Amino acid sequence: MIEVQNVSKSFKDVQILKNVSTVFEEGKVNCIIGRSGSGKTVLMKSIVGLHEVDEGQILFHGRNYTAMNDKQRKEIRKEIGMVFQSGALFDSETLEDNVMFPLRMFSGMSEEECRERANFCLKRVEVVNKNNLYPAEISGGMQKRVAIARAIALNPKYLLCDEPNSGLDPITSIVIDELIQGIAQEYNITAIVNTHDMNSVMEIADKIVFIYKGEKWWEGSKEEIWKTDNKEVNDLIFASELTQRIKKSFL
């Protein structure tokens, strides 16, 4: 479980996050949604410590991450797996080496054990017989899957995904969504997914946090979002005519 308590963050004079508080629950997929520039990525980066928050605190299972020094944070970071929008795979390493990377650094396993574990994770994300390829040699969707494999290599307690579906076709998006949902349930991981893709939200979200102009504007389940009368939420979720029609038929 990750608790965000009264978090604020500014860059120079521009306040990006304003007193955001929420709880991301264990074993569930928590989606952060909002318009571009609303502060979703800043919130995610603040959670993992890539940005220092100005005010408030972030607790990982009750452990106050914001008050920790670098050494203490390092221990928590080993429990976090993160999938970036671009995948952020290491260009100069093969796919297998990318997944083996955190294992070599932290697991204390032998080279053979690391390789076995990496192959297991690659198989889990359905990337097989491609171990010796480089990230540039595979598709964007496959890069995301390898990024997920790398993120789960150390059996993390927390999985954070920053726009995992961006730039992917609808079918590949579904594959990625199912992977994230499956892994969160299988390993009882607290998953946070930052997304624009409303199909994803409706498919996998156990909890939805809507960020609007840096504030937490709304939160609830995907069932509740259909019925909410919050104007900003409706403007985002049901922006297109098609989604409006779907909403009418759903209700």
Q: Roughly what angle, to the nearest 10 degrees, separates helices 170-186 and 140-152?
A: 10
With CB under 8 A, what is the number of residues at the site for other proteins?
24
Residue numbers 57-86 binding other proteins by CB under 8 A: 73-78, 80, 82, 84-86
Q: 31: closest CA among 173, 162, 150, 166?
A: 162
Query: Sign of the CA dihedral 42, 78, 102, 152?
Result: negative
Q: Rule CB under 8 A: choose which of 63, 104, 130, 247 binds other proteins.
A: 104
**Integer Cα distance of 147 and 23 in angstroms:** 25
Say whether residue 166 binds other proteins (CB under 8 A): no
Q: Lay out the sheet containing 80-83: strands in order across.
A: 80-83, 158-162, 190-194, 29-33, 207-212, 215-220
Residue (146 or 225) nearer to other proteins, CB: 146
Say whether residue 50 binds other proteins (CB under 8 A): yes
- Nearest-approach distance from CB 39 to other proteins, in angstroms: 17
Q: Is 105 exposed, middle or buried (0-12, 13-18, 19+ CB in 10 A)?
A: exposed
Q: Rule CB under 8 A: choose which of 6, 64, 90, 235 binds other proteins.
A: 90
Say whether residue 106 binds other proteins (CB under 8 A): yes
| 19, 6 contact by CB (below 8 A) | yes
Say whether residue 131 binds other proteins (CB under 8 A): no
Site string for other proteins, 207-226 (x = CB under 8 A): --------------------
- Nearest-approach distance from CB 230 to other proteins, in angstroms: 32
Say whether residue 120 binds other proteins (CB under 8 A): no
Residue 200 structure tokens: 């994803």
- Nearest-approach distance from CB 90 to other proteins, in angstroms: 6
- Nearest-approach distance from CB 17 to other proteins, in angstroms: 18
Residue (75 or 137) nearer to other proteins, CB: 75
Tell me which residues touch other proteins (CB under 8 A).
45, 48-50, 73-78, 80, 82, 84-86, 88-91, 101-102, 104-106
